């Protein structure tokens, strides 16, 4: 999963960042449902928010991994196109 020059690929970064991204999605879903209560929407339970965040965490993780990979490239002075 690492490149031949020792750098981390976007895929490996995504695997490492997934738990954090999915947790952030779960927290945001739960808080959004709390705000939605003022509009008459039902409030999601924390457990329901976690279950919904499992698939929704994948695109969030991919975006975070690409962003981190870009920061790492910028710090190294490299330009990559993934």
Does residue 82 lie in a domain region? no
The domain total for the chain is 1
Residue 33 is part of which domain span?
Answer: 10-75
Average pLDDT over residues 48-62: 97
Q: What is the pTM of this model?
A: 0.81
Structure confidence at residue 82 (pLDDT)? 57
Residue 49 lies in a domain: yes
What is the mean pLDDT of the segment spanning 54-76?
Answer: 94
In a domain, 5, yes or no: no
pLDDT surpasses 80 at 47: yes
Average pLDDT over residues 26-41: 96
Q: Please give the pLDDT value at position 80.
A: 62
Residue 1 lies in a domain: no
In a domain, residue 38? The reply is: yes
Looking at the domain assignment, is residue 22 inside a domain? yes
Residues 6 or more apart whose Cβ sits within 8 Å of residue 69: 8, 9, 10, 13, 80, 82
* HSE value, Cβ hemisphere, 13 Å, CA-based, for 55: 2
């Amino acid at each position: 999963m690492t490149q031949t020059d020792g750098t981390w690929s976007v895929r490996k970064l995504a695997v490492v960042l997934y738990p954090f991204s999915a947790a952030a999605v779960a927290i945001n879903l739960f808080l959004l449902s709390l705000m939605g209560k003022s509009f008459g929407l039902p409030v999601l339970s924390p457990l329901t928010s976690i279950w919904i965040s499992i698939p929704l965490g994948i695109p969030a993780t991919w975006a975070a991994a690409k962003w981190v990979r870009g920061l790492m490239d910028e710090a190294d002075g490299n330009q990559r196109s993934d």
